[in-house]
Amino acid sequence: MKRKILTTSMIIISLIVMSCSQDYLNTEPSSATSTETIFKTTSEAKLAINGLANLMSIQYLSSQGFNGEGTIKMYYGNYPGAHFTVNLPGWAPITNSDYFRNLDAIYTYYPWYYYYRIIGNANTIILNIDKASGPDSEKQYIKAQALSYRSYSFMMLAQLYCLRWSDSNNGASLGLILRTDASDGEMIRSTLADTYKKIYDDLDEAIALFTESGIHRDNSLNYVMDIEVAYAVYARAAINRQDYPKAEQMAIKARNGYSLMNVSDYKAGFSNPNPEWIWSVWGSSDETLYYYSYFAYIAYNSSASAVRTYPKCISKELFDKIPDTDIRKSLFLNPADYTEQYNTSTGQYTIADAPAVVAAARAKGTDPSAAIYAYMQFKIKCNDQPGVGHMNIFRSSEMYLLEAEAKYFQNNPSGAQNALIELNKNSGRDSNYTCTKTGADLLNEIKTYRGLELWGEGFDWFDVKRWGDPMARKSFANGGSFISSLAVSFEPNEKNKWTWFIPSRETNYNKLAEQNNY
């Protein structure tokens, strides 16, 4: 019998029994919890919502690399992007986008499995919460959260497994399998237009329910879904769909109450929520994935071998665009600050050849045995070893960038300029920043600052795909900072139009799911 890619009614039980810290879920794990028990009261149903949050930070598929949302950021957003470099030639097939048609690869399978697992659990909550006893306001708030989780998951899947909107013939191309009930039987793929309609409909209902409930989270609980999170999902989905009026509207609403972080917060390591964070994934020392976590793959001070041996770096091309007055430039190792040289094939400094550079990196908190590379990052750190930290998903910075992009495409250059000035100058990131650019130069400015502001947070590849830009990486020999095996260039219409095939674990049992990726 072929293994099905997901279940629905059974998953809700398993997510409740996963071990969780008291601060996170505020509940003791149970070894046997029925759906009837979970939805007996709203107090008990809250545990199911907290279980959805937990699904975003657990280990999957008995593999160290698959850790919930962090894997999406690293393997699917950072590694294959244009501005994220790491000396990993063995990862060339993933980094160079050569796995899209590999139907049986675990990398093809993982996002589909992960997001449909969240969707299946969200469906169970949506279908059962109205039966629970308890205040209507609590039922509305719980349902709104589940709808927001489902729409977020559909949105992320659409970016990976569907064509970019500009190639979709106004949404006529194939979309997702829109599972919204408790069944896991055979289903056809929707159109991409219907996929986005479902995302919009879920978010419209969620926003209405959040509003009707009158409940707003305690912002110390940053991992909890709230109305501004729904607005943020809406803004990102709308920009993907090239629905620029909606993207602008929702981005402005999403950042309401979430001020841009100050310089001190910006340099604090991106591992703890601050007033700018709209939504994040929980991470604590007593709830850790150890060497399997997102921070154990990226945090510059991690003791994990994935960081010590292979520190993560910004591309030279993006780094060179950062003004010297911008505080974000100090978050990367600048070779121009030293006369000592790095290896021009790999970018690595050695103690023998560059003791001052290595000493400076150690002073910032790198592990005593960590390799030191040109342009390595000091933006993201862990709170505890080997990789403990809270991982942000939405920040108000992104909302300003979405607003700028949406206004640009609505022929409002001054509005786009003002959004960039608010983000870069008025926040203190660069007190000298100004923007008077128009036309293609303004769009390139938006792209540059989106790349800089969101570097390392999992946006890189998704943005380049969405814009329909070529992928262009330069080797050290050609003035860039990618090792030769990763210094590749290809066009938007190549590499399967940057679209992952639906994995065979879906199509083996769901014969109605068309394999044609268009």
| pLDDT band at 33; cut points 50, 70, 90 | low
**pLDDT surpassing 50 at residue 465:** yes
- Dist CA 492 CA 476 (whole Å): 24
448, HSE (Cβ side, Cα atoms, 13 Å): 19
Question: Per-residue DSSP letters for 70-112?
Answer: HHIIIIIIITTSSSEE---GGGHHHHTT--TT-TT-HHHHHHH
pLDDT digits (tens, 9 = 90+) for 66-98: 999 999 999 999 999 999 999 999 999 999 999
Stretch among 28-42, 237-251, 448-462 having the lowest mean pLDDT = 28-42
pLDDT digits (tens, 9 = 90+) for 261-291: 999 999 999 999 999 999 999 999 988 888 8
| pLDDT band at 425; cut points 50, 70, 90 | very high
Q: Where are the domains of the chain?
A: 7-511
| pLDDT band at 26; cut points 50, 70, 90 | very low
Mean pLDDT, rounded, for 386-408: 98
Cα 491 to Cα 309, 393, 442, 473, distances in angstroms:
31, 28, 22, 12
pLDDT at residue 185, rounded to an integer:
80
When the pLDDT of each residue in the chain is averaged and rounded to a whole number, the result is 92
- Dist CA 253 CA 5 (whole Å): 36
Tell me the torsion sign for CA atoms 214, 232, 165, 243.
Answer: positive
- Dist CA 518 CA 510 (whole Å): 18
pLDDT at residue 16, rounded to an integer:
43
pLDDT digits (tens, 9 = 90+) for 288-341: 888 889 999 999 999 999 999 999 999 999 999 999 999 999 999 999 999 999
- Dist CA 278 CA 276 (whole Å): 6
Which amino acid is present at 113?
A: Y
pLDDT at residue 64, rounded to an integer:
64
In this structure, whether the domain defined by 7-511 belongs to CATH 3.10.580.10 is answered with no
pLDDT digits (tens, 9 = 90+) for 339-383: 999 999 999 999 999 999 999 999 999 999 999 999 999 999 999
pLDDT at residue 62, rounded to an integer:
75
Mean pLDDT, rounded, for 481-494: 97
Both tokens assigned to 97: 């986008």
Cβ 430 vs Cβ 326: under 8 Å? yes
pTM: 0.94
| pLDDT band at 184; cut points 50, 70, 90 | confident
| pLDDT band at 518; cut points 50, 70, 90 | low
**pLDDT surpassing 70 at residue 495:** yes
pLDDT at residue 439, rounded to an integer:
98
Cα 392 to Cα 164, 204, 222, 288, 413, distances in angstroms:
25, 24, 9, 16, 29
Check residues 22 and 176 and name the one with the higher pLDDT.
Answer: 176
| pLDDT band at 29; cut points 50, 70, 90 | very low
**pLDDT surpassing 70 at residue 30:** no
pLDDT at residue 484, rounded to an integer:
97
- Closest to 232 in 3D by CA, of 264, 209, 206: 206
Both tokens assigned to 389: 């930290």
**pLDDT surpassing 90 at residue 233:** yes
Q: How does DSSP classify residue 3?
A: P
Question: Per-residue DSSP letters for 269-323?
Answer: -S-S--TTEEEEE--BTTB--GGGSSHHHH-TT--SHHHHTS--EE-HHHHTTS-
- Dist CA 458 CA 43 (whole Å): 34
Separation of CA 479 from chain center? 29
pLDDT at residue 54, rounded to an integer:
94
Proportion of the chain above pLDDT 70, given as a percent: 92
